[in-house]
Structure 1
Amino acid sequence: MLVSFESLSETAKVWIYPASRKFYKEELETVEEKVKTFVSEWKSDDADFKASYQFLYNRFIIVLAEDEDGKLTNQDIDTLVGFILQLQTEYELELLDKMNVCFKQGEYVQYKEIKEFKKLLKSKSVSSKTIVFDNLIQTKEELEHYWEVPITESWYNRFL
């Protein structure tokens, strides 16, 4: 069942899918509607199942679900990944590569391959204060407190 983000517990499971490019203005409404429909219908046979989503910076698709009783199965996760793969194909962008780096450069969110990001660090184009997105977080609490952090507070600090 689709619920508001705020109503989910701090331990709700989180999946973050960073897009390799911003969604174009004409795509936004359609993509968000598809995500909303998917989350609404995901595990619809389970009346106790609660899920939500967020669409941030026109680039990140974030799906959250309560899994207090361990009801999420591998098949449920496969269904989510299959949906994301469909979006990836339909909109011709990458959504599943979590090893690329997303970071803020002024008001813009950049998406770079790790190799290119290391070069930016070496050339001082980004600094230790640059805000990065840790797309490997796993809970709502981590999303709220540790998703957008300076490089020094992320696992990317090993490249400094």
Structure 2
Amino acid sequence: MIFSPQSRVWIYQSNRKFTSTEEVEILQKLEAFTSQWKAHGNELLAKAEIRYGFFIILTVDESQANVTGCSIDSSVRIIKDIELAYQVDLFNRFNIAYKIDNEVHVQGKEDFETLVNIKNVTPETIVFNNMVQNLDELQTKWEVPFKNSWHASVFAHLL
């Protein structure tokens, strides 16, 4: 399946890395969901993936059918079910993901602030912008240096 660069994406970041077994099970649940995901009776061209063991990414190509409020609600329900089943936090926007030595780490806002303060996180550290809206942005604006991210404005006083 080829998805348009303008396909919508939703990123849900876990507060901990999924085990390989969890990842397989979660992907099975998500594939079952995306294969029957509909908007007002229309099939949605959708896919789900897990990246780095932390990020659940849902993608919908709206060239076939537009996502509706109800269809978004149904995707949130499946994510909440996964959250409960695996005892993870997928909705906390104050958990910040970053890379050190090509390994992804997730910290709460206060701990992240400490890492910036003690220079473990530098302006060059890669952070994840989970606010990207489409596939094109996922490719170009998801993994960015801290200094070029929205995070930099939040923690500007520390840089």
TM-based fold match above 0.5: yes
Corresponding position of 1:34:
29
Write the distance in 1 (CA, Å) between the matches of 2:124 and 2:66: 40
State the shift of 1:133 in Å: 0.5
CA deviation string 1:81-126 (max 9, x = no partner): 0100000000000111233210001132111111211111001111
Shift of 1:71: 2.5
1:25 positional shift? 2.2
Percent of residue pairs bearing the same amino acid type? 32
For the residues of structure 2 that align with 1:99 and 1:122, how far apart are their CA atoms?
17
CA distance in 1, matches of 2:54, 2:17: 5
Q: CA deviation at 1:149?
A: 0.6
Q: What residue is the counterpart of 2:87 in the other structure?
A: 92
Partners in 2 of 1:77 and 1:122 — Cα distance?
A: 38
2:46 alignment partner, one of 37, 51, 69: 51
Q: Normalising by structure 2, what TM-score?
A: 0.90
Give the number of equivalent residue pairs. 154
Listed as ranges, the matches of 1:74-153 within 5 Å are 74-153=69-148
Q: Quick one: distance in 2 between partners of 1:140 and 1:52?
A: 12
What is the CA RMSD across the aligned residues, in angstroms?
A: 1.6
CA distance in 2, matches of 1:26, 1:9: 31
* Worse-matched range after superposition: 75-84 or 49-58: 49-58
Using the size of structure 1 for normalisation, the TM-score is: 0.90
Structure 1 residues not aligned, in runs of 5+: none
Aligned residues of 1:98 and 1:136 also touching (Cα < 8 A): no
Question: Structure 2, unaligned stretches of length 5 or more?
Answer: none
